[in-house]
Amino acid sequence: MSNVIYRVNEVFETIQGEGIYTGVPSVFIRLQGCDVGCPWCDTKHTWDVESGDECALDQVDQPSHDQKRWASATAEQLIQLVMQYHAKHVVITGGEPCWYDLNPLTRRLSDHGYQCQVETSGTYPIAIDPRAWVTLSPKIAMRGGREVLTSAMFRANEVKHPVGRQADIDALDALLARCPSSAAIALQPISQQPRATQLCIQTCIERNWRLSAQLHKYIGVL
């Protein structure tokens, strides 16, 4: 038994809408808490961890619909929730999941035959089972002032970069020059903006990178 306690905003099943596993049925575990401060963040309700928002674990076993609520759970309790669903792929996101030691959770899930994928900003050390897939979405010069860690870039299996304009691609180039990576690279337009989407399509074709278009927003699932 581990004594790591996770603060959980929601657990639910959907279709992975981002990155290389796009289209894969997945159980999402969204952890509460992030101080990176991306101005366009989809999940601002996960930033703060306020004691007044704590709730019972059975309340987070469904989509939170942008509520700030969170419940405390051990890895074992989370696995019991995950096992109620069909999917064999588990996405751990947030918030910033690397606020937490993910070893107990990802080790047990992997032992139970689940493929784990973690979505992270790369600004905290990644403590995770070696079998887990790491999707790193580098956050460069965000308001929280945190930097992308070289160790996180080294661990990443996939680098999925949010793009609003050309300067974001230039910043990714500078990061890759500083931290050479063998990870697959995907560009993700910010908030379905048409100009960003066109820029991502054009750059992905020129460079043989992947496009990550947030499929869930186009097909209307969470």
Ligand X SMILES: Nc1nc2[nH]cc(C(=O)O)c2c(=O)[nH]1
Ligand Y SMILES: C[S@@+](CC[C@H](N)C(=O)[O-])C[C@H]1O[C@@H](n2cnc3c(N)ncnc32)[C@H](O)[C@@H]1O
User: Which residues are annotated as part of the binding site for Mg(2+)?
Assistant: 43
Which residue from 27, 36, 73, 81 is in contact with ligand SF4, where contact means CB under 6 A?
Answer: 36
Query: What residue 170 binds from ligand X, ligand SF4, Mg ion, none (CB within 5 to 8 A, per partner kind)?
Result: none
Is residue 9 close enough to count as binding ligand Y by CB under 6 A?
no
Query: What residue 104 binds from ligand X, ligand Y, Mg ion, none (CB within 5 to 8 A, per partner kind)?
Result: none
Query: Given the complex with ligand Y, which of 109 and 134 has the nearer CB atom?
Result: 134
Query: Given the complex with ligand SF4, which of 45 and 210 has the nearer CB atom?
Result: 45
Q: What is the 3-state secondary structure (H, E, C) of the chain?
A: CCCCCEEEEEEEEEECCCCCCCCCEEEEEEECCCCCCCCCCCCHHHCCCCHHHECCHHHHCCCCCCCCCEEEECHHHHHHHHCCCCCCEEEEEECCHHHCCCHHHHHHHHHCCCEEEEEECCCCCCCCCCCCEEEECCCCCCCCCCCCCHHHHHHCCEEEEEECCHHHHHHHHHHHHHCCCCCEEEEEEHHHCHHHHHHHHHHHHHHCCEECCCHHHHHCCC
The 66-85 site mask, x for binding ligand X (CB under 6 A), equals: --------------------
The 27-46 site mask, x for binding ligand X (CB under 6 A), equals: ---------------xx---
